Chain A
């Protein structure tokens, strides 16, 4: 009897410790070896990688939000039959392997394609590749956010004499904003960590993920680990901030 109770008490502790070790192991490796070998990063690669990654991801997030927000709002008002279709379409870039997305994008954006854009191996080509990997996450989460705003609040707002834009900006948008923040956090993480599509579309200019792979190939693990730490340091603040804010706003 007594031992049964102590097992029941100990079980969650053991579970937390084991899970914690499993989950934290990569972070610990990254911290310990990344900091130890920080000096091994080829200095010339550091700045261009960082700025290219931050710059392209920022643009990708901006484009995703600017296009995804109205799209998500529009989708949340679709009749049920059409919703299914929209879900399927949005899922395409999610379900296709990123490398395949990259290949098709390289074809579409390349100099020989119908578009004659010649965006492969340019900054904007990289941005487009990142948008393809990031946007569906944002749109799905924002869509759920808009859909979760009870119709009743919007109706009451209209009955107060408010025009549609006012209803949207005062009621719908603030009530959906925790979801929008989460969606933006996910989109940012996908964009800055995007590898599959960017490596095909834009080998140069390089963001951190592709650069990391190149360093790994050319130099080895000790040089790559600190660069991985840099990627994490660059990628994390925005989503963490967004998640904290969304928790706060939802309360």
Chain B
């Protein structure tokens, strides 16, 4: 288990407390907009940024250890393959034994790098570099992966293929992971626990599904995509209910404005008589309202206690 109880000073935001326990095989997500301190916290875990407190892996205290002996693999957000070495060479040199072994072959083929191994880092595109970096991080065979926006440069099919491979690997080898992401979908897909960060501050912390179902405060709700408040209820476009609105805690009537594609369905803007404007997703299979239509829609809106701070 990775035990984290750290005070990290985040540039411009002062000292911040980071506390989490990540079991073996578990994933912690750091979620927030850019500038919220995800990268700094990840760097503090890796050992690049000064931190005070406790950081231990299975009882082994890591805070006094230098970067190079911590049982982590760190993948920064910016492209970081060594420009002067071929991809194969940097993968081999990242292996603890520094030999091209069967595991390396598995990584190379699983991450779609077979045809790229002879190329120097400087000749690889952003997406290719990202896959190469992931391979290099995994080649190190760490106990904990520290990944900073690891899928940001990947196209959707590659993303899902690599996601499936990584998930298998994490499960079969019981690796732990700390993932920094600004995408709530990633958080829901990967994390057992998430820390919502805003300007270096922990806004909420918990299991992603539970936080989404019952946001502990309004800033947290906003970060997860809740767009407005009616009374003490938070409204998320994806939690609109069209077929049986009257069972919902919030029911609105209004006129449809904008209609834009969203996933398999559409998203509509609804202007109510009292001047409030809300957005609601219309999933596939529900009859689509047209612009100007008068509609009635319910929201499965969780109750949100006012700001904690």
Contacts and interface: CB of A to CB of B under 8 A. Distances in A.
A7 interface: no
Contacts of B68: 158-163
A245 interface: no
B140 interface: yes
A171 B67 contact: no
Interface stretch (A17-25, A33-41, A148-156): A148-156
Contact of B67 (A158, A170, A249): A158
B76 A175 contact: no
Contacts of A157: 82
Nearest to B71: A161
A156 B93 CA distance: 12
Contacts of A50: none
Nearest to A159: B74
A152 B84 contact: no
Contacts of A175: 82-84
Contacts of B94: 160
Contact of A153 (B46, B69, B80, B136): B80
Interface residues of A, number: 16
Nearest to B74: A159
Interface of B: 46, 48, 66-69, 72-74, 76, 78, 80, 82-84, 93-94, 96, 136, 140
Contacts of A155: 48, 67, 74, 76
Contacts of B80: 152-153, 156
Contact of B93 (A163, A170, A249): A170
A162 to B, nearest CB: 6
Nearest to A164: B68
A174 B93 CA distance: 15
B70 to A, nearest CB: 8
Contacts of A174: 84
16 contacts: A152-B78, A153-B80, A153-B82, A153-B83, A155-B67, A155-B74, A156-B76, A156-B80, A157-B82, A159-B67, A159-B68, A160-B140, A161-B140, A162-B68, A175-B83, A175-B84
Nearest to B48: A155
Contacts of A249: 84
A156 B83 contact: no
B175 to A, nearest CB: 16
A175 B83 CA distance: 8
